[in-house]
Chains A and B, each alone.
Chain A
Amino acid sequence: MDNTWPLWEVFIRSKNGLSHKHVGSLHATDAEMAIENARDVYTRRQEGISIWVVESKDVTASNPTQSEELYDPAKNKIYRHPTFYDIPDEVGHM
């Protein structure tokens, strides 16, 4: 029987107002232990005030080999940026 503890991804909110950010991963038997271990490993110097853990197998990631088809189409859509439009300085910030 495989007794390897499952892998968990850890997300920490450094302070209220900011989003949780991925900081790393750890092994734990269940979600509760994962939170406890994350507290011990990732917040020893008050790095956070809130922790999320997600079992790594539940994270679906995009495929790196597909990055061309996924992200290239945005490259030539320069009209999505404010600098594409000519606005004279006289009218103030816009």
Chain B
Amino acid sequence: MIEKDLNQIFQTRIDADEKIEARDWMPEKYRQTLIRQISQHAHSEVVGMLPEGNWITRAPSLRRKVALLAKVQDEAGHGLYLYSAAETLGAKRSDLLQQLIDGTAKYSSIFNYPTLTWADIGAIGWLVDGAAIMNQVMLCRTSYGPYARAMVRICKEESFHQRQGYEIMIALSQGSEEQKAMAQDALNRWWWPSLMMFGPNDDESKHTAQSMAWRIKRKTNDELRQAFVDASVPQAEYLGLTIPDEYLKWNEERGHYDFGPIDWDEFWQVVKGYGPCNAERIAARRKSQEEGKWVQEAAMAYARKRKQRSQDQKTKVA
């Protein structure tokens, strides 16, 4: 069959909301788009452990500590599910990890901001995970089967992440003046980077149109961003905290909140590697990969030795 017909059949299947599975024919660009998106998603889960891991040893109570530990543990698992989904498309795990540390693959730019106080852990759970969940709930219906199934599992596990963060925010905002100020400061610093997590505006986003046509994405960046703002405003009000946006206002006509312009210069600066923690994050990943290498080698050597021994045993018996 000629390529054009195959493309036609593929698009018809997509339009009928059929899922695409690993052995099905797919356009090369669909495969490449998915590998890029899924691996960057995986990298985000892995790098996302770093800003939060920073506070595990300093969590203010045992309850907070086990919650944060469980959350960071989940993120590692989520990275694994996603790398595995990318591997069904023929990507090699070692190549993907190499792309992360040599900077050719991106990860969510939000993780290039530092976690300065304990309140940041609350704000990350509430806002950063809240924004991620918006995106991930949509991806449960993505057209590529293995990716969709990984997302279902992730969403199921993720639901506690936002709640533990918001619970921290409640405790702080109902605490002393100092604690409340700390919560407000965290909201001030994390609000705009959280809105940037959804990516450029629709008319600026180079991948959106094709990804929507292939139903890799089911909602646009701006739709998701709006849903996130609408959900977050009442949550901030309950906390008695102020969202740092003077243009934020309910728009009766649209049935949505209007919000101010995003500083896209900052966004692109961080994406291009000039955020406050880009170098630190990549250095941490590189260190972990380099210093962990001997463990991988030793484990493989041990497995080989055991195999050899059991073969020798068999030969002896025979």
Residues on A close to B: CB < 8 A?
13, 15-19, 50, 77, 79-82, 84-88, 90-92, 94
Contact = CB atoms under 8 A, between A and B. Distances in A.
B55 to A, nearest CB: 16
Given A13-B21, A87-B167, 10 more contacts: A17-B19, A17-B21, A17-B145, A18-B145, A79-B63, A79-B67, A86-B170, A87-B163, A91-B166, A91-B238
B163 A82 contact: yes
A41 B149 CA distance: 27
Contacts of A90: 234, 238
Contact of A85 (B19, B163, B234): B163
Contacts of A13: 21
B239 to A, nearest CB: 9
Contacts of B24: 16
Contacts of A77: 66, 70
Q: Chain B: interface residue count, which band?
A: 20 to 34
Q: Give the top 8 A-B pairs by smallest Cβ distance, nearest first.
A: A17-B19, A85-B163, A16-B19, A82-B160, A82-B159, A91-B235, A85-B167, A91-B238
Contacts of B67: 79, 84-85
Interface string B19-38: 11101100000000000000
B18 interface: yes
Interface of B: 18-21, 23-24, 63, 66-67, 70, 74, 130, 145, 148-149, 157, 159-160, 162-164, 166-167, 170, 231, 234-235, 238
A17 B22 CA distance: 10
Nearest to A84: B160
A88 to B, nearest CB: 7
B146 to A, nearest CB: 9
A13 B22 CA distance: 12
Contacts of A88: 170, 238
A18 B70 CA distance: 28
Nearest to B13: A16
Given A79-B66, A79-B67, A16 B167 contact: no
